[in-house]
Amino acid sequence: MNDHLDMDRLLLGMAEYEASDLHIKPGSPPVYRIASKLQPIQAPPLTKEETRTMLYTIIPPEQMVVLEDSGGIDFSYHTRKGDRFRCSIFQSGGAVHAAIRRVQPTIPSFKDLHLPPVYHDITDKTHEGLVIVCGVTGSGKSSTLAAMIDHINHNRHCNIITIEDPVEFVFKPARSYISQREIGIDVPNFPTALRSAVRQDPDILMIGELRDRETMLAGIQAAETGHLVFCTLHTADTTQAFARILEFFPTTDHAFIRSSLAVGLKAIMAQRLLPCDRKDVQRVPATEVLISTPTAVDCIREGHEEDLTAVLASNQELGMHDFTTSLAHLVETDFVDLKVAEQYAPNREALRSRVRGIEVRADLLIGKHTSSH
């Protein structure tokens, strides 16, 4: 056994090195993700036995059988110091692997996350309907969702019920009442939790992830019946969210789902985390925000999602915007280098053109200012 390695030391090291994730598997030393980059620690590779011994020290006893039967488990883990981690432990190639995410001890604000003002506006102005935060793994969806819920918690009198797998951020009730239910501990699954939740007088439901047909349908129906539903969805951008939702249903139900979304959907916000150029910020989000304007609603109802790209670009006075606009702004404000932004851009030429336009406008303004003197 690597005598200097144990789970407590590895988890404490995440805070010390400001690592967002820890990966453990046989044949490799433990690996931290620091500022979006994977960095192995200075240690010999772990064996199968060492990996299993280390990971079994943090697995809840009631989850051991689930791991053996289903091949994977998700749970939250707390250290004696109160640090929280989201753990995914799974079997692979006859061995046990783990991906462990450090949960920030404090719930971030919109400012902490460097989110645009439209996130604040949507959270303040929306009182019923469906709000979806989407992005790929590691894009900061959970942090954004937590910031929105905690903002409401401090500014409205609401009964908030969260359904999570696992619970990540622990909310402290301020002006709102909050009940947090964890899948596998408080309730067996999302559909069961949602069926119960609508009988628990919620103003707001937060669903950790829309991951199956029953959960998707329950979330949509709750939004239609006057509740405000926040959730996450694993898609890269706002327009892909519709294809992902429809995948859960047979084609005979698509017209019904489109009609329900046209009525209940309020906003879809997608994001991607980019390495930041500023020394005091590790990562910053590029965002895309679709708001349910009458034009957007017509596109959704009629199944013309391909037209939403133009809708995103034509309603920026509402705070609606596409990824290209967001990336150009990050470059303009010196948060992100242009070459980095290009790696994340849906269309590199469109981004370069947009940034050149910004540079030209800046030069004109400088010239006007100089000529006035």
pLDDT at site 53? 93
Q: Please report the pLDDT score of residue 3 as a whole number.
A: 52
Domain 7-103 has CATH 3.10.20.90: no
User: Is the previous residue joined to 116 through a cis bond, with omega within 30 degrees of 0?
Assistant: no
pLDDT above 90: percentage of residues in the chain: 74
Which residues of the chain fall below pLDDT 50?
1, 361-367, 369-370
Options 3.30.1520.10, 3.40.50.970, 3.40.50.300, 3.40.190.10; CATH of 110-353: 3.40.50.300
Which pLDDT value is given to residue 184? 79
Q: In the chain, what are the domain boundaries?
A: 7-103, 110-353
Task: Give residue 241's pLDDT.
Answer: 94
Which pair of tokens denotes residue 112? 């902490």
pLDDT digits (tens, 9 = 90+) for 351-361: 999 998 765 54
Q: So what's the pLDDT on residue 365?
A: 44
pTM exceeds cut of 0.95: no
Residue 273 confidence (pLDDT): 95
| 3-class SS letters over the chain | CCCCCCHHHHHHHHHHCCEEEEEECCCCCCEEEECCEEEECCCCCCCHHHHHHHHHCCCCHHHHHHHHHHCEEEEEEECCCCCEEEEEEEEECCEEEEEEEEECCCCCCHHHHCCCHHHHHHHHHCCCEEEEEECCCCCCHHHHHHHHHHHHHHHCCCEEEEEECCCCCCCCCCCCEEEEEEECCCECCHHHHHHHHCCCCCCEEEECCCCCHHHHHHHHHHHHCCCEEEEEECCCCHHHHHHHHHHCCCHHHHHHHHHHHHHHEEEEEEEEEEECCCCCCCEEEEEEEEECCHHHHHHHHHCCHHHHHHHHHHCHHHCCECHHHHHHHHHHCCCCCHHHHHHHCCCHHHHHHHHHHHHHHHHHHHHHHHHCC
* CA 340 to centroid of chain Cα atoms: 21
* Beta sheet of 129-134, edge-to-edge order: 177-182, 159-164, 204-207, 228-233, 129-134, 265-275, 283-291
296/320 Cα distance (integer angstroms): 11
What per-residue confidence (pLDDT) applies to 81? Answer: 78
pLDDT, position 214: 92
The number of residues making up the chain comes to 373
